[in-house]
Chains A and B, each alone.
Chain A
Amino acid sequence: MHELALVSSLIEAVTEDAERRGLKKVTYLSLSVGELSGAGVDSLDFALRHLTSGTILEGADFNVKVASSLCECKKCQQIFKPLPPFFLCPFCRSGQTVITAGRQVYIEFYEGE
C-alpha cells in the first residue's frame, strides 16, 4: 500500500546517483521486493510507470523481482522458510522466530547512458 512512497525514494536515489555519474538517461532498472514487504509487484509497476515520467527514468524498462523470505528460530537457531500467519519454527514448533529476509525493498542495479 505504500508503493508510491517507495517509488518516490527510488527515483530520488537513482536520479542522484545517475547525475553524479553524468548519465543522461536511465534505461533499465532491477528491483528486488521481499515477499513480506507489504509492497505489491503490480502496484510497484504502476507507480514506476507513472511517477517516472519527466524524470531521468522516463521510458526505462523495469524488472521487479520477488525475493523470498527467511526466518530464524531464537530457540533452536535453525533457519527456515517462514509460513505466515504464525511464522512457527518447523523444527521445534517455537513461535520465537525473527524474520531475517523478505521485508526489504531494494534497487539491485540500473543501466544508464
Chain B
Amino acid sequence: MAMRIYLSKDLREASRLCADDNRKTLAEQGVLMINLMGSPGSGKTTLLEHTMRKLSGLYRIAVIEGDLYTAKDAERLSPWCKQVTQINTEGGCHLEAGSIGYLLKEEALLDSELVVIENVGNLICPAEFDLGEDIRVTQLSVTEGDDKPAKYPLVFKDADCVLITKLDLLPYCNFNLERVIQELQIINQELVIIPVSVYNGEGFDTWINWLVKQIEAKKKSVLS
C-alpha cells in the first residue's frame, strides 16, 4: 500500500550536529579553531606560512588543509608546522564537519592551542557548512576585483574577520579599497577588517595581534 511519510528532515542536520560536537570538544579543551576561506589563489596558504613562521614557537598549532586532490599546500606548510593534516575532498567543493571531527579525535589535534583549517578555495559552498569553528576568516585579494562582497555576500556576512590580501598589488589593480571596506561594514557591522600584504608586511602584525588575542581568550575561557 502506498503511504506518505513526512520527514521534515534538514539535509544538513547531520553535518550541523557534527559541527556542534566539534565546538563542544574544542571548548572543553580551550582550543581555538579557525575556518579560513577564500577564492582559489587568494593567498590562504601563503598567509598561513607566514603566520606559522611567526607563531609556531609560541603556540602549539595544527593545520588542516582541504584540497581537491593534492597535498601541495600541506607540503608548503610542513617546514613551519609539525601537525599538518591533508584532507582530499576528491572533487568536493567544501569541507564538512564530520571529517574535521574525526581528525580532532584521531589525530590528537586537541593537544594544540590553535587549529587552522584552510578550506577549499571557493566563495560559495564553504559558507554553507559550519565546521564547528570559533572564528570564520574570509580572504579577499585585491586582484580578484572589488565587486566580490556584493557578488558573494554570504561568505562575508557570516565571517568574523575579513582579510583583504595582496595589498602590495593595490597600485596595479582597479580595486576601490575604501568602497569595499564600506560595503563589508554594511554587510556585517561586527566584522574585523584587516588589509594585509605578506610581501611588504603591511597589516600583518595587526592580523597576528588579533589572532593572538583570540587564542588567549579561548585558553582563558577554560580556566575560568
Contacts and interface: CB of A to CB of B under 8 A. Distances in A.
Nearest to B92: A5
A106 B8 CA distance: 6
Given A86-B187, A95-B185, A105-B12, A37 B6 contact: no
A85 interface: yes
Interface residues of A, number: 37
A36 interface: yes
B10 A104 contact: yes
Interface residues of B, number: 37
B154 interface: yes
A14 B9 CA distance: 9
A14 B6 CA distance: 11
Nearest to B185: A95
Contact of A10 (B6, B11, B151, B154): B11
Interface in A54-113: 84-88, 94-96, 99, 103-113
Interface string B170-207: 00000000000001011111100000000000000000
A17 interface: yes
B222 interface: no
A108 to B, nearest CB: 7
A37 B127 CA distance: 10
A2 B6 CA distance: 24
B10 A88 contact: no
15 contacts: A2-B128, A5-B96, A23-B3, A36-B154, A38-B127, A85-B187, A86-B187, A95-B187, A96-B190, A103-B128, A107-B8, A109-B5, A109-B7, A112-B5, A113-B1
